[in-house]
Amino acid sequence: MESQDILALLIVGAMAGTAAASILRGQKPARTSDWIRNTVIGVLGALVGGFLFDVLNLNQDLPKILSGTLTPADVLVAFVGALIVIAASRLIRD
């Protein structure tokens, strides 16, 4: 994995994780340290989302997240995965 791939994954992860956390946060105020957690959740979400879209064969027209380019489709896949990661972590915690 090249440095541009890692950078693209971190950017996608930060955007998707922040969007997913914002939607699922409810009325709780955001903290300053949330961006690190959101980026980690987004990166995990990108991996989960990419795997899920591959398994369900939904990625025929979507580009690969680790292609070195950043597209809205990449953020969508990561966002869906981040929602799944957050929901799963809430189920495990509760």
Please check whether residue 42 is in contact with residue 15, taking contact to mean a CB–CB distance below 8 angstroms.
yes
Count the helix, strand and coil residues of the chain and give each as a percent rounded to the nearest 5.
Answer: 75, 0, 25
For position 31, what pLDDT does the model report? 67
- Predicted confidence (pLDDT) at residue 13 exceeds the cutoff of 80: yes
22-76 residue pLDDT tens: 887 765 666 666 778 888 888 888 888 878 877 887 765 555 554 556 677 778 8
Q: Say what the pTM is.
A: 0.74
